[in-house]
């Protein structure tokens, strides 16, 4: 079974631009969560989608948004990029057949650098 | 607000020794406590997890000890090997709270 696939692997953007990151979950997984990882803050929860609906949202500004498609693939968008948005963005999928966020399977992430 | 506090930040252990990483949580609604291992350049991978109905769970060389009254849990890596050198994260979730992570421990096992 293929794992969680995130594209692109690396991105370089400048301040003020916007970016879209993509995530394909493991086949059969209906929940997709997004996390931001930085050396100082560790992994911080952005949002979680299940069956195309946002089920949970972390404490991030509205510049961060996401969506999920009918095939469970998900995208996240960051508008008006700031230097502090430089981070590794991780996507995780789970079956979500039962409890929220059990057994998350992470992708390798998208490393975003904002110059 | 950091809901899961992890210590130490970094740890150096001799080959064959025991690595111990500790975590403390605040939210009493948490009822699922996993540990993740992250290889460089990869996303975290689930290592082992525990629920508060047991005080200990063992899988191979990895053991989670859980103290519900103290709101603490720890990971023990027995017979630590150089291949165990990675970053380890504790996490917790429960109720409607998504998985929240500790800030990680960088483990180095030296020969």
Chain A partners of B89 at a C-beta cutoff of 8 Å? 42-43
Q: In b/e form, how buried is each residue of A22-47, taking b as 16+ CB within 10 angstroms? A: ebbbbeebbbbbbbbbeeeebbbbbb
Predicted local distance difference test score (pLDDT) of residue B90: 97
Q: Would you call A43 and B101 a contact, using CB atoms and an 8 Å cutoff? A: yes
pLDDT tens, position by position, B25-64: 999 889 899 999 999 889 999 999 999 889 999 999 999 9
Interchain CB contact of B40 with A (< 8 Å): no
Predicted local distance difference test score (pLDDT) of residue B2: 60
Sequence-distant (≥ 6) Cβ neighbours of residue A98 within 8 angstroms: none
Instruction: Answer yes or no: is pLDDT of B75 > 80.
Output: yes
Q: Would you call A33 and B99 a contact, using CB atoms and an 8 Å cutoff? A: yes
Predicted local distance difference test score (pLDDT) of residue B98: 84
Q: Which two tokens stand for residue A87?
A: 């981070």
pLDDT tens, position by position, B7-26: 999 999 999 999 999 999 99
Of all residues in chain A, the one with the smallest CA distance to B2 is: A41
Rounded CA gap, B62 and B78, in Å? 6
The CA–CA distances, whole Å, from A15 to A18, A61, A110, B14, B59 equal 8, 16, 17, 45, 46
Angle at the Cα of B28 from the Cα atoms of B22 and B29, rounded to 5 degrees: 115
**pLDDT mean over B79-105:** 92
Predicted local distance difference test score (pLDDT) of residue B94: 84
The count of C-alpha atoms lying within 13 angstroms of the C-alpha of A111, restricted to the half-sphere facing its C-beta, is 8
Interchain CB contact of B88 with A (< 8 Å): no
Predicted local distance difference test score (pLDDT) of residue A102: 75
Q: Would you call A56 and B98 a contact, using CB atoms and an 8 Å cutoff? A: yes
Of all residues in chain B, the one with the smallest CA distance to A88 is: B43
Of B4, B2, B36, which is closest to residue A104 (Cα–Cα)? B36
Question: Which of B32, B46, B99 should be substituted to probe chain A, the one whose Cβ sees the most A Cβ atoms within 10 Å?
Answer: B99
Compute the mean pLDDT over every residue in chain B, rounded to the nearest whole number: 93
Predicted local distance difference test score (pLDDT) of residue B59: 95
Question: Percentage helix, strand, coil, to 5, in chain A?
Answer: 5, 50, 45
Cis peptide before A36 (omega within 30 of 0): no
Per-residue pLDDT of chain A (115 residues), as tens digits, is 679 999 999 999 999 999 999 999 999 999 999 999 998 889 999 999 998 999 889 999 999 999 999 999 999 999 999 999 999 999 999 886 445 557 889 999 999 999 9
Of B90, B99, B87, which is closest to residue A92 (Cα–Cα)? B99
Predicted local distance difference test score (pLDDT) of residue B95: 76
Rounded CA gap, B49 and B1, in Å? 23
| B72 against A95, higher pLDDT | B72
Predicted local distance difference test score (pLDDT) of residue A40: 84
**pLDDT mean over B96-108:** 91
């Amino acid at each position: 079974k293929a794992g969680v696939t995130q594209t692109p692997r690396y991105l370089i953007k400048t301040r003020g631009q916007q970016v879209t990151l993509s995530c394909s979950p493991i086949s059969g997984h209906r929940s997709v969560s997004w996390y931001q990882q930085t050396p100082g803050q560790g992994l911080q929860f952005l949002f979680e989608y299940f069956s195309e609906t946002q089920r949970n949202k972390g404490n991030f500004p509205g510049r961060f948004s996401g969506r999920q498609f009918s095939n469970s693939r998900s995208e996240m968008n960051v508008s008006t990029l700031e230097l502090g948005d430089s981070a590794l963005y991780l996507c995780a999928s789970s079956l979500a057949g039962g409890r929220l966020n059990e057994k998350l399977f992470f992708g390798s992430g998208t490393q975003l650098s904002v110059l | 607000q950091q809901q899961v506090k992890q210590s130490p930040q970094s740890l150096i252990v001799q080959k064959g020794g025991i690595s111990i990483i500790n975590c403390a949580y605040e939210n009493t609604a948490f009822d699922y406590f996993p540990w993740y291992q992250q290889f460089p350049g990869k996303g975290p991978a689930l290592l082992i997890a525990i629920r508060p109905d047991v005080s200990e769970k063992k899988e191979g060389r990895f053991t989670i000890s859980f103290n519900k009254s103290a709101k603490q849990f720890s990971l023990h890596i027995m017979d630590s090997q150089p291949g165990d050198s990675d970053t380890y994260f504790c996490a917790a979730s429960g109720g409607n709270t998504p998985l929240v992570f500790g800030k990680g421990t960088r483990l180095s096992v030296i020969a």
